[in-house]
């Protein structure tokens, strides 16, 4: 694998989602301008000023980065990062992140600081390194993809945040309400590595993020470091039992539960055993309608991310 051919002092083409995080877009612009001016680095900001502008801004930034041999940068939460990564994958561009979201699993896994000024220094001083990308049908996911209960949790979480604000306690409360309401189980046929299995599950979760998996205690946590994804399916159970699983996850012991099926794979096909030709699938927190069957796989090409050589938070979870 050959890294992108960058200019000697590559310009930064930054897609800024003003709606992500605390909404401090002006402060983020000031930090970028001050930091880039200090080292005489060119930059251009593509501000997402509407709900339907993100993909267009991402494509425009990628095209400009290709012309200038620059770096396309996502400044926002996991959804913004996902959209820009979708445009950057296979483009030949290097990719960078200024995390602005609530959980920032992608940036934390790769050692990128949550502070905007510190993250900017990564963009200005680090080299691109290959990072694995997950795919479901033609959609990119960097953290996870899911259907069923987990997708419903994310959908409800966004509705709660729109009403009560983007805070961790809002995410926790919305998740509790969704679990207590429950969802209908899915009947799925899964095939991978020559194996097949029919399951009845409330959620299917496919992970591409070692930090998130280590935190909940899954044996497959290092699958992304080994060129694989991890599938996690939960057997149907009562709301009370589901709350117990959430508690296990919070304590880093989810993998010990008898009601959890998990395994690693490079590619997997999932189809319904009854009905449901199109389904809601969450990719990095964004809800999409996708056609069955769902084909999960590791993308053949990596994303070339500007990141430190060591990710301290991820290393700490392995100790």
Q: Closest by alpha carbon to 285, among 175, 134, 144?
A: 144
Written as six digits, the tokens of 114 are: 């949550």
User: Rounded distance, CA 17 to CA 160, Å?
Assistant: 20
Residue 283 has pLDDT above 90, yes or no: yes
pLDDT band at 164; cut points 50, 70, 90 = very low
* Confidence at residue 151, expressed as pLDDT on a 0 to 100 scale: 66
**71 conformational bin, left if phi > 0, alpha if psi -120 to 50, beta if neither:** beta
Higher local confidence (pLDDT), 312 or 134: 134
pLDDT band at 250; cut points 50, 70, 90 = low
Residue 154 has pLDDT above 90, yes or no: no
End-to-end CA distance of the chain: 30
* Confidence at residue 297, expressed as pLDDT on a 0 to 100 scale: 98
Q: Closest by alpha carbon to 233, among 275, 276, 185, 299?
A: 185
Residue 130 has pLDDT above 70, yes or no: yes
Domains (range + CATH), the chain: 12-133+301-317 (3.40.50.10330), 139-298 (2.60.200.40)
Written as six digits, the tokens of 309 are: 């050589």
Predicted TM-score (pTM) of this structure: 0.87
Asked which of 1-15, 95-109, 138-152, 156-170 is least confident by mean pLDDT, the reply is 156-170
Written as six digits, the tokens of 227 are: 């060129």
Contact 155, 146 (CB under 8 A): no
Whether a cis peptide bond, with omega within 30° of 0, leads into 164 is no
Identify the three-state secondary structure at position 234.
strand
User: Rounded distance, CA 222 to CA 152, Å?
Assistant: 26
Mean pLDDT over each residue of the chain, to the nearest integer:
86
Overall average pLDDT of the 285-308 stretch:
95
Residue 248 has pLDDT above 50, yes or no: yes
Residue 246 has pLDDT above 70, yes or no: no
């Amino acid at each position: 694998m050959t890294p992108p051919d960058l200019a000697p002092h590559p310009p930064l083409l930054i897609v800024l989602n003003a709606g992500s995080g605390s909404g401090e877009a002006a402060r983020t612009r000031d930090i970028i301008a001050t930091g880039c001016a200090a080292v005489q680095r060119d930059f251009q900001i593509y501000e997402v000023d509407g709900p339907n502008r993100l993909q267009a801004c991402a494509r425009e930034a990628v095209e400009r980065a290709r012309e200038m041999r620059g770096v396309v940068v996502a400044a926002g939460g996991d959804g913004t990062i996902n959209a820009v990564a979708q445009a950057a994958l296979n483009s030949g561009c290097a990719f960078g992140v200024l995390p602005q979201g609530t959980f920032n699993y992608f940036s934390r896994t790769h050692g990128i600081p949550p502070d905007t000024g510190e993250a900017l220094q990564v963009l200005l001083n680090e080299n691109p390194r290959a990072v694995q990308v997950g795919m479901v049908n033609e959609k990119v996911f960097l953290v996870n993809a899911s259907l069923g209960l987990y997708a419903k949790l994310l959908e409800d979480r966004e509705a709660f945040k729109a009403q009560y604000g983007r805070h961790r306690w809002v995410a926790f409360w919305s998740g509790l309400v969704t679990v207590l309401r429950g969802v209908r189980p899915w009947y799925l046929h899964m095939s991978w590595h020559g194996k097949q299995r029919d399951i009845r599950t409330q959620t299917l979760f496919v992970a591409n993020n070692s930090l998130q998996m280590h935190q909940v205690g899954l044996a497959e946590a290092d699958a992304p470091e080994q060129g694989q994804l991890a599938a996690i399916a939960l057997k149907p159970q009562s709301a009370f039992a589901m709350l117990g699983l959430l508690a296990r996850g919070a304590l880093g012991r989810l993998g010990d539960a008898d009601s959890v099926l998990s395994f690693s794979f490079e590619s997997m096909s999932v189809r319904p055993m009854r009905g449901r030709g199109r389904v809601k699938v969450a990719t990095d927190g964004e809800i999409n309608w996708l056609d069955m069957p769902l084909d999960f796989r590791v993308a053949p090409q990596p994303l070339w991310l500007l990141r430190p050589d060591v990710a301290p938070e991820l290393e700490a979870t392995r100790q």
